[in-house]
Chain A
Amino acid sequence: MSVKHVLTTCPYCGCGCNFFLQVVDNKLVGIVPDKTDEIGQGKLCIKGYNAHVFVQHPDRLTHPLIREGSQMRKATWDGALDKIVSEIKRIVAKHGPDSVAVFASAKCTNEENYLMQKLARAAIGTNNIDHCARLCHASTVAGLVYSFGSGAMTNSIPEFENANCLLVTGSNTLETHPMIGARMLHAIYSGAKAIVVDPRETPLSRVAHMSLHQKPGTDIAWINGIARVIIEENLYDKEFVETKTAQFEGFKKVVSSYTPEKVEEISGIPKDKLIEAARLYANSDRAMIAYAMGITQHSNGTETVKSLANLALLTGHIGKESTGVNPLRGQNNVQGACDAGSLPNFYPGYQGVAAAEMKAKFEKAWGRTLSDKVGLPMTVALQLAAEGKLKALISFGENPMMSDADITHVEEAFKHLEFFAAADIFHTETTKFADVLLPAACYAEKDGTFTNTDRKVRRVRKAVDAPGEAWPDWKIACELGKRFGAPGFDFKSPAEIMDEFASVAPIYAGISFDRLEKEVLTWPCTAKDQPGSRILHVGGFKIGRGQFALSQHAPPAEETSEEYPLILSTGRNLFQYHTGTMTRKSPKLEREAPEPYVEINSGDAKALGISEGDRVRVTTRRGSIAPMARVTERISKGVLFIPFHYAEAAANMLTNPALDATAKIPEYKVCAAKVEKA
């Protein structure tokens, strides 16, 4: 009888809590939180406690499958891999390498993402590599790189506990990053003042010092308004602004027109409250901004991120303990997937593909001629596929048929692809379009690392065997790379892959599996003898000066009209995760949130004759779904909220695919909708 407690990292959100999988003879029987883990501290959220449940579900994919007409037939690994390579080679020969795209996955490990981008770049010859970071924090990466030179959290998770001011906006932290939310609760109950700005009341806003509700799509207005108050009242850090920042005068001029009165008119936030919030943030000596999708998922998401960064530059609230700007990354490894280079414009470690010296460096490292053309973001790639311009796609674990905006249009993309290969752990709404479908191992069945939202590189350890013939994605990527005839895909273990990643990406240079056995490492970790930096921008910015951005409020891409009078916003809830592939197969999670629903303000509901529990029809210019109504005071008048977890009433049938000009992230948070009794 073999009983093991295998230390690993949670596969759900970006908190990156560690726990032990309890295994008896290859069967998962439970989860024990790691009491010595500095993130989880021996605690987990409900998803963490249920993270073993889907792993050995009977619906797991167990054999490679190849399409024959409308049927999928069982195939050998050799048969499936050869088919993928011959199809891609045929399409590359005819249309060139840029007619192919690879989607990596923020659920996969760093090592796997490293190989997936290497597969696209060195084996296929295209920079068309992207993943779901495009849909969550693409605008953060673009925005914060502009402002500070780095697009990650500037502080570590434990620091939230000691902040004395928390400005939380567009983040339902207790539901979506529960263990970060717990730290915030600790701070609030210890006397910290929290300002939560969100169109909905959230579990966090209900215990916060101030809970402000902006009209969706008006963030730059209220943020500039706060900046104006801080400047007008001389509450800004003049020395910091003078010595550490650039473009202050221009910025001052831009925000000068955002008077509290004007901001109230645009955003609906009362002017007195705005002034109070501005004073509170500026006057606190340990002020942390935390934000998530409510800021990033807009057609001006990049500018909105920059405007938040402006507040930190203005007050000098950055580069210190419990003081900074913190984008809360969504997926367990979305930070790591970006770090590893699963982005169309960056090699591993944020080294630009358009820079000649970087191209030369990677050509030397990988022994292949590389493309210097910036690749296609995922959202644009799918649009081009729908137009027939992108011909083939290999997707590792992505589920665009649930997660991308305007699913009807996404479906056109998949129908038009000449060839589509997918690797996944379950059948999904997307895999049904696959010509070849490969069974992948999940987190509990392989070794590797995830990088959590505060840049800690955390080990993932194999606890049980993968079902049937499923392989870890790193092995799939290796076998594909070899079959394309590319060198450098001959890895025997994820540890070896990490060594290569560390050798080409300076921010990971000091990281190795050996070290991770003994210590906690945080990137940037540039040498083997240092643990990395928990706080970024201490003493100044690597780019010289922090850049103020001249961000102006602009209306969302789609405004309400007589026909569509309500604003629809989407997001997630505590119990389900993203497209539900894993959580909806976990009975205790499904029990808590089993049905698609739309939150509607009680006043709006009354006017429309809608009661709690009614089946309603929600319609936008793109489509229509029929969720159940949840009538509540906790959402602003005129706003609807639908979680995007439910295939039977998929929120993304409705959302607007309008993209941010820089980051190409869709505007999930605002579109015009109507609702009626079904």
Chain B
Amino acid sequence: MAFDDYKADYLLVMRAEHGSVAPAFISKGEEIGDVRFDIPYQLITVLSRIYPQIPKGKIAVVVRKCDELALNELFKRGIIDGKRIFKIGLACDENIIDKCRCPDPVPSKVDIGEPKKGVAEDATVTRLRKMSPDERLKFWVRQFRKCNKCFGCTITCPVCFCENQCVLGERTLVAEKSIPPGLAFHLVRSFHMADKCIECGECERACPAEIPLLTFRKMVHADMKELYGFTPGDEKTVSPLLTTLEGEPLEDEKNVC
């Protein structure tokens, strides 16, 4: 791996350090070191904390397919300038594909790794779909009661970018007193991420309580697709939740009311 390959001023990768694997943001001229691809750090989240501090220069970053989608969400909102990013495509290995129950693991351009097939379904999603609404609620209550309010699901999320205006800090929505927080905590977050989440699964990996948050996301996703024909991660399409209603046709209205 060399800077010249990417014509970049900075390189964001993972590498072996102190017996661990670390995210590494390397400036041109610095030693690149022992680059690793086996530990799934969410480099887009890592990038988004650093990016505001780096006013210029081109950044080459290792991206999985989901990271590409996350970048698209950030590009179209103007949070990161796409012209400054050079993507180094990483095809995920079977182990990670399996853990993410990922249907679409191959980036648009593969620079590292061998393209592998995606997984057709999330077994928990299938199981939950077959449950009655009551059973399903019980399943999620049993999961969410483990929540210890670390906010890891928001802090590590690549497309969670409201920072100090996070709705989860609103007392009217999420009371501060209780651990676990009420269901509102998860539902508010779920709604807020509905048109951004690109199913990278970082929330689930970051959850100390092992709540199957990716499964939760996948179910919301299916609804978004069914209701609006919309899937996040597209560089151009604006979220249907953000469109105004001014231009909507009204012909059907009299029939409904």
Give residues in A with beta carbon < 8 Å to B: 1-5, 7, 18, 20, 22, 24-25, 27, 29-30, 32-37, 42-46, 48-49, 174-175, 178-179, 181-182, 185-186, 189, 203, 206-207, 459, 517-520, 574, 588, 591-594, 630
Contacts and interface: CB of A to CB of B under 8 A. Distances in A.
B152 A591 contact: no
Contact of A45 (B46, B177, B208): B208
B209 A185 contact: yes
B41 A3 contact: no
Given A3-B53, A185-B209, 7 more contacts: A18-B20, A29-B50, A43-B206, A46-B148, A186-B210, A517-B18, A519-B19
B10 interface: yes
B115 interface: no
Contacts of B27: 1-3
B205 A7 contact: no
Contact of A24 (B54, B156, B177, B209): B54
B145 A7 contact: no
A24 B169 contact: no
A591 B176 contact: yes
A174 B148 contact: yes
Contacts of B45: 32
A7 B152 contact: no
A592 B150 contact: no
B22 A34 contact: yes
Contact of B209 (A33, A34, A182): A182
Given A49-B150, A459-B18, A174 B24 contact: no
Interface of B: 10, 17-27, 39-41, 45-46, 49-50, 53-54, 57, 145-146, 148-152, 155-156, 169, 176-177, 179-180, 205-210
Contacts of B146: 185, 189, 207
Contacts of A30: 49-50
Nearest to A520: B19
Contacts of A179: 208
Contacts of A32: 23, 41, 45-46
Contacts of A45: 148, 150, 208
A29 B177 contact: no
B22 A181 contact: no
Contacts of A3: 10, 25-27, 50, 53-54
A592 B176 contact: yes
A574 B177 contact: no
A22 B180 contact: no
Contact of B22 (A1, A20, A29, A517): A20
Contacts of B57: 1
Nearest to B45: A32
Nearest to A33: B206
B53 A25 contact: yes
Contact of A203 (B19, B46, B148, B151): B148
Given A34-B20, A34-B22, A189-B146, A46 B209 contact: no
Contacts of B18: 7, 459, 517-518
B210 A185 contact: yes
Nearest to B176: A592
Contacts of A588: 151, 169
A174 B17 contact: no
B62 to A, nearest CB: 14
A51 to B, nearest CB: 12
A627 to B, nearest CB: 14
14 contacts: A1-B53, A7-B18, A35-B40, A37-B20, A42-B206, A43-B206, A46-B151, A185-B209, A203-B179, A206-B145, A574-B148, A574-B149, A592-B149, A592-B176
Given A34-B20, A185-B210, A517-B18, A44 B150 contact: yes
B148 A178 contact: yes
A440 to B, nearest CB: 25
Contacts of A43: 150, 152, 206-208
A518 B17 CA distance: 9
B123 to A, nearest CB: 17
B155 to A, nearest CB: 5
A2 B179 CA distance: 39
B158 to A, nearest CB: 12
A174 B23 contact: no
B240 to A, nearest CB: 31
Nearest to A632: B177
A43 B202 CA distance: 11
A175 B179 CA distance: 9
A44 B146 CA distance: 15
Nearest to A17: B208
A630 B176 CA distance: 12
Contacts of B39: 35-36
Nearest to A182: B208
Contacts of B209: 182, 185
Contact of A46 (B19, B21, B149, B156): B149
A599 to B, nearest CB: 10
Contacts of B155: 49
A34 B176 CA distance: 28
A30 B25 CA distance: 13
A591 B166 CA distance: 12
Nearest to A172: B179
A49 B151 contact: yes
Nearest to B149: A46
A22 B150 contact: no
Given A1-B54, A24-B50, A574-B148, A518 B208 contact: no
Contacts of A35: 21, 39-41, 205
Contacts of B41: 32, 35
Among B49, B146, B210, the one with the most A-chain Cβ atoms within 10 Å of its Cβ is B146
A519 B206 CA distance: 24
A7 B17 contact: yes
A190 to B, nearest CB: 10
Nearest to A593: B176
A574 B176 CA distance: 11
B54 A22 contact: no
A30 B46 CA distance: 8
Contacts of B205: 35, 42
B20 to A, nearest CB: 4
B61 to A, nearest CB: 13
Contacts of B176: 591-594
Contacts of A29: 49-50, 53
Contacts of A2: 27
Nearest to B27: A1
A75 B24 CA distance: 40
Nearest to B154: A49
B257 to A, nearest CB: 43
B151 A36 contact: no
Contact of A27 (B21, B22, B23, B53): B53
A32 B44 CA distance: 12
A178 B150 contact: yes
A588 B25 CA distance: 27
Nearest to B145: A207
Contacts of B49: 22, 29-30
Nearest to A45: B150
A181 B18 CA distance: 27
Contacts of A574: 148-149, 179
Contacts of B148: 45-46, 174-175, 178, 181-182, 203, 574
B14 to A, nearest CB: 9
Nearest to A27: B53
Among A27, A42, A49, the one with the most B-chain Cβ atoms within 10 Å of its Cβ is A42
A186 B41 CA distance: 23
Nearest to A8: B18
B19 A517 contact: yes
B53 A24 contact: yes
A20 to B, nearest CB: 6
A651 to B, nearest CB: 18
A46 B156 CA distance: 12
Nearest to A29: B49
A48 B40 CA distance: 20
Contacts of B17: 7
A289 B87 CA distance: 50
